[in-house]
Amino acid sequence: MTSQVEAMPGDAPELSVKPVPSGPSYRQLALDGLWRNNPALVQVLGLCPLLAISNTTVNALGLGLATLLTLLVSNTLVSVIRHWVRPEIRLPVFVLVIAAVVTAIELAMNAWLHGLYLVLGIFLPLIVTNCIIIARAEGFAARHDVGRAAFDGLMMGAGFALVLVALGMVREVLGQGTLFANAHLMFGEWGRGLTVQVMPENYGFLLAILPPGAFIALALLIALKNALDQRRVN
| 65-110 tens-digit pLDDT | 999 999 999 999 999 999 999 989 999 999 999 999 999 999 999 9
Distance from C-alpha of 165 to C-alpha of 158, rounded to nearest angstrom: 10
% of residues, the chain, pLDDT over 90: 71
In a 13 Å sphere around the CA of 230, the CA atoms on its Cβ side amount to 6
Distance from C-alpha of 121 to C-alpha of 101, rounded to nearest angstrom: 17
DSSP assignment of 180-230: STTTHHHH-GGGGGG-EE-S-TT---HHHHSHHHHHHHHHHHHHHHHHHHH
Give the count of beta carbons closer than 10 Å to the beta carbon of residue 17.
6
Distance from C-alpha of 234 to C-alpha of 3, rounded to nearest angstrom: 61
Give which of 141, 107, 137 is closest to 125, Cα–Cα: 107
| 118-133 tens-digit pLDDT | 999 999 999 998 889 9
Buried b (16+ CB within 10 A) or exposed e, 95-127: bebbeebbeebbeebeeebeebbebbeebbebb
pLDDT score, position 20: 39
The CA distances from residue 79 to 39, 84, 89, 137, in Å, are: 20, 10, 15, 8
pTM of the entire structure?
A: 0.87
| 44-69 tens-digit pLDDT | 888 888 888 899 999 999 999 999 99
pLDDT score, position 202: 82
pLDDT score, position 4: 46
- Residue 1: is its pLDDT beyond 50? no
pLDDT score, position 17: 36
Cα dihedral 62/187/122/133 (nearest 10) = 30
The CA distances from residue 12 to 6, 8, 15, 17, 111, in Å, are: 12, 9, 9, 14, 68
Average pLDDT, whole number, for the chain? Answer: 88
